[in-house]
Amino acid sequence: MQTIDLAPEDSEWELDEGDAIAPGLTALRLLGGGVRYQAYLAWDERMRSLVVAKLLRPALVGDEPSLRGLSKEVEMLEALDHPVLIRGFHADLEGERPHVVVEHVEGPRLSSLIRRYGPLPADQLVPLALQMLAAAHYMAGTGFAHLDIKPSNIIMAGPPRLIDLSIARPLERCAQLTVPVGTDGYMAPEQCAPTPGAVGSPADVWGIGATLYRALTGELPYPEGDEDAESPVERWPQLREPATPPPPSVPAELTDPIMSCLAHDPARRPAAGEVADLLEPLLESMAKLRLARLKPRLRAT
């Protein structure tokens, strides 16, 4: 649940297959929605391609803060160019249905895979971690923070894509936050404190750590919070409790980097590139292990 700019979620565009979103942009089916937006799979006639159209909800069409937020997202999509970040194509902020058009990526969300099949094995987790860390490293280097890294914002494609820049912002604007912003279970302590601390790139490192922990164990590294609680420490347990290490069955080579991402003090968290440096040697060791397991089969044939 995001904690900023909430909108009535019963305000919806009820578009059927074939309905026009805008000239040359046709709705195919509803993909989902958040507090301010609805996302439709759409056909873009100009590009002759499937795309995703992200529309402001009807109740917010004339809302200046929401329009500014959509405009800021468009600016970030234009400024950011990385293989793991979703690409933006074009936008209409003044029409009947203000929207931004982004690429359509085939693949399930990480959250769906965890829910359906359980935790990811290490040989899938480590490459995913390196891709997410690469995106966070790039965003930090270009002066932005995503602020909402979580399993439902990762599309498991080749390469995986980090989506949804709706609450991302330049680092100087992150430092000016005065209210919690993000998704409850994946917010760094400095994001969800009643008076947020200096929020910046370390918050994305925390989000990656919480996401990897969830992907590895199926659980969050702290108890589930109560989103209806009035007390911040009841709503956001990460404010009061340190992250619990993964079970002993998880190799230290994985546990240590993940737990370093979840340091309560943002100054003690390594940068995304430093975490990637810790994980990269695991790729080689896992490749050697797979080869060792494969050799007996090759001899048998």
Indicate which residue of 44, 92, 148, 184 is catalytic. Answer: 148
Question: Which pLDDT belongs to residue 298?
Answer: 53
Domain with CATH 1.10.510.10 in the chain: 110-287
- The residue with greater pLDDT, 197 or 263, is 263
Question: Which pLDDT belongs to residue 300?
Answer: 59
Domain with CATH 3.30.200.20 in the chain: 20-103
Question: Which pLDDT belongs to residue 12?
Answer: 94
Task: Indicate whether 4 pLDDT > 50.
Answer: no
| One-letter-per-residue 3-state SS of 177-234 | CCCCCCCHHHCCHHHHCCCCCCCCHHHHHHHHHHHHHHHHHCCCCCCCCCCCCCCHHH
Do the bridges between strand 161-162 and strand 154-155 make them parallel or antiparallel, or are there none, so unpaired?
A: antiparallel
pLDDT (average), residues 97-123: 95
Average pLDDT, the chain: 91
Q: Which fold has domain 110-287?
A: Transferase(Phosphotransferase); domain 1 (1.10.510)
Share of the chain above pLDDT 90, in %: 79
Task: Indicate whether 172 pLDDT > 90.
Answer: yes
CATH number, span 20-103: 3.30.200.20
pLDDT (average), residues 100-108: 96
Task: Indicate whether 166 pLDDT > 50.
Answer: yes
63 is catalytic: no
pTM of the model: 0.89
**Which token pair is 49?**
């391609």
Per-residue pLDDT of 127-150, as tens digits, reads 999 999 999 999 999 999 999 999
Q: Are 251 and 122 in contact (CB under 8 A)?
A: yes
Question: Which pLDDT belongs to residue 10?
Answer: 62
> Can you tell me whether residue 299 is helix, strand or coil?
helix
